[in-house]
Amino acid sequence: MTSQATRPELTAAQCALCGVETDSPHGTCPVCADERQYLAADGVQRWSSPAEQAARGAAIELKELEPGLWELNTRGHVGVGQQAKLVVTDRGNVLVDVPAYIDGAAIEAVSALGGMAAIVPSHPHMFGVQSAWSAAFDDAPVWVSEPDAGWVTRDFPGLRVWSGELEPVPGVRASQPGGHVPGSSVVHFRGADGAGVLLSGDTIAAVPRAGWVSFMRSFPNRLPLSAGAVRRIAAHVAARYDVERLYDNFQGRVLRGAGEAIASSAERHARWVSGEFDHLTGPV
């Protein structure tokens, strides 16, 4: 692990709105300018860094969700507020999605759980300060989906590109159902009880109603996906994984019957956006 005295991560430039790092802190953040995100209301592009956030009191708290799965909760930070997950296994740990912040205390907390063998951001909005997390753990590989590699704006030694399917450590599998962005990825592993667990990023989002999930091109801007895209996502997951529990990247979760929730929710979504239920929306 890189020593605190030589850590480069605290100076990583990042957008002060979405939190994604960059080598070129000028102009407009391309992640925020895309239709899935949004620019600052006043039109001013601002930049930040973990060091600046630390000076304002930012911190990361690790909390166990279930045996072998931890969440990283950041407070006082920039970014969209994603909740990264750490899958802890006896064959190596995998960070799924990346906080927009890092500090020495967080590095020590992850180290105490066995460190980090690999990082898998589900899509560009979750890149956070991925080069910093990689550097903090001996340039751990950061596996970026090939369709989304063009969104990477900071090169670093641990950067890797993948397509199709990936097993960053034995027993932890990733694949790319797409949808929210072309390379949107999900990560699957087996919990301590043997049940299938899916980390779905923004590909599939849990919603307040029990047993339902959602699929969107843009969550903040409420842009839906088509019937075909949603059915493709559901079929992709069903063909590869048995899923009892699902955790998305914003504290959403389905703790039982998640595979059925994905299938039924996808069909419901597809039928609504296809116009099948337009007679329930008012005069036709």
Query: For 79-127, how does the pLDDT look when each residue is reduced to its tens digit (9 = 90+)?
Result: 999 999 999 999 999 999 999 999 999 999 999 999 999 999 999 999 9
HEC sequence for 38-78: CCCCCCCCCEECHHHHHHCCCEEEEEEEECCEEEEEEECCC
- Torsion sign, CA atoms 8, 11, 12, 17: positive
Q: How many domains does the chain have?
A: 2
> Does residue 31 lie within any of the structural domains?
no
Domain stop point among 140, 162, 184? 162
Same domain, yes or no: 127 and 223: no
d(CA 9, CA 133): 7
d(CA 57, CA 61): 13
> Does residue 44 lie within any of the structural domains?
no
Domain stop point among 162, 190, 220? 162
By C-alpha distance, which of 119, 94, 200, 184 is closest to 146? Answer: 184
pLDDT category at 77 given cuts 50, 70, 90 is confident
Domain stop point among 162, 189, 217? 162
Quote the pLDDT of residue 7: 54
165-184 pLDDT, tens digit per residue, is 999 999 999 999 999 999 99
> Does residue 34 lie within any of the structural domains?
no
**Cβ atoms of residues 253 and 245 within 8 Å:** yes
Which residues are CB-contacts of 152 (< 8 A; sequence separation ≥ 6)? 124, 127, 144, 159
- Give the CB-side neighbour count of residue 177, counting CA atoms within 13 A: 31
Quote the pLDDT of residue 8: 55
d(CA 268, CA 225): 13
Same domain, yes or no: 86 and 223: no
Domain that holds residue 70: 1-24+59-162
Same domain, yes or no: 17 and 98: yes
Mean pLDDT to the nearest integer, 54-82:
94
CA dihedral 202, 70, 146, 181 (to 10 degrees): 0
d(CA 160, CA 156): 9
Same domain, yes or no: 210 and 250: yes
pLDDT category at 10 given cuts 50, 70, 90 is confident
Quote the pLDDT of residue 284: 73
Quote the pLDDT of residue 236: 98
